[in-house]
Chains A and B, each alone.
Chain A
């Protein structure tokens, strides 16, 4: 199994805080949930209006998404299941190799 299935259920979520208060709250929860920041490279860069992409495991994503909805922070799920995305790409690769 690709990477021993370690990314099963991982999501990549885009967050765009509207205010500095939202940005502060996001920094706090990202730190607590130990997200993997895809962009920017450090949580200290998260600010009002900044585009923030985070990778988060399944358990954490439920908490994060609930928080985002409650706080009304704009967000979008970029990749719903990272493991599936990796495997899809791998199977496409195998198909191309066979061709």
Chain B
């Protein structure tokens, strides 16, 4: 059952996919699972569509986790989000409003091949697992493979580098599948949220250049309120701002691509911590990390629903 699944431990890919199947079977009123394609190694790319079914037009929010395989707190948060949505739909007016007014497309593990590899072989693997012709090194950085100033600053053309952009944009089947889905549904997808680790930041476009986005006002105020809400839980500080100046310039990111392709509100979270544990965030910190992040995500969602055009 929903309450028996342990959301305070890291789960294998198989466990996560079994959990998704289970929710699809037991919560059909609010959950619908479907696949948008297959990974390089042939694994299904599952999405959970959350929200009260409605014949009326509803906008949507896309959330993905685990673009980079070793950032395990990302998929943990995606699972936490789903759990919270289903458990508090009736008791929490904010969640009820979110589920009633919006659909949420949740991709708990974007880079399924890499995530599986990080469980079985190399805990610190980052990229996908595609083979690169003529090179012994495998994988492409799935956050450098999008067609937005592709393979420019902040990305590498060398297959052995961790920021390898790929042989061409959307070369990775995972990236292509998500891009196709977002292109098809962009008319009603209002926001794109991507979860990474670690740095404790809330970022918005642009990543690939130093420039201010046209709808800066609404995006910035959403980010400001979100980090304040996050900090109110345990006092953890997140920096926020455009990715290029808050973190570093990088081209070919999913956030920039989603923005360029018409999704007006796009954010990337860099979750806990700032380096004490790094990618090895202990399981005891899953709950506080997800609890504070949940508040930030609810804040962003409600701000966009009420305050932004």
Using a CB–CB distance below 8 Å, which chain A residues touch chain B? 3, 6-7, 12, 14, 36-42, 44-45, 51, 53, 55, 78-79, 82, 85-86, 89, 92-93, 96
Other-chain contact of B279, A38, A51, A92, A93 (Cβ < 8 Å): A38
Other-chain contact of B280, A36, A89, A93 (Cβ < 8 Å): A89
Q: Which of B23-31, B155-163, B224-232 is near enough to bind chain A?
A: B155-163
**How many positions in chain B have a CB within 8 Å of any CB in the partner chain?**
26
A50 to B123, CA, bound (A): 25
- Secondary structure of the A side of the interface? mixed
Mind listing 10 A-B residue pairs with CB under 8 Å? A36-B162, A38-B275, A41-B163, A45-B248, A55-B124, A78-B275, A78-B276, A86-B123, A89-B283, A96-B283
Q: Are B282 and A42 in contact (CB under 8 A)?
A: no
A53 to B278, CA, bound (A): 9
List chain B residues, Cβ under 8 A from A44: 154
- Taking the closest CB of chain B, its distance from the CB of A35, in whole angstroms, is 11
Q: Are A37 and B162 in contact (CB under 8 A)?
A: yes
Other-chain contact of A93, B9, B163, B198, B277 (Cβ < 8 Å): B9
A42 in contact with B280 given A51-B275, A53-B275 (CB within 8 Å)? no
Say yes or no: is B199 at the interface (Cβ < 8 Å to chain A). yes
Other-chain contact of B278, A38, A89, A93 (Cβ < 8 Å): A38
- Secondary structure of the B side of the interface? loop
List chain B residues, Cβ under 8 A from A39: 198-199, 275, 278
- Taking the closest CB of chain A, its distance from the CB of B150, in whole angstroms, is 16
A92 in contact with B283 given A41-B163, A86-B123 (CB within 8 Å)? yes
A35 to B9, CA, bound (A): 29
Say yes or no: is B121 at the interface (Cβ < 8 Å to chain A). yes
Say yes or no: is B289 at the interface (Cβ < 8 Å to chain A). no
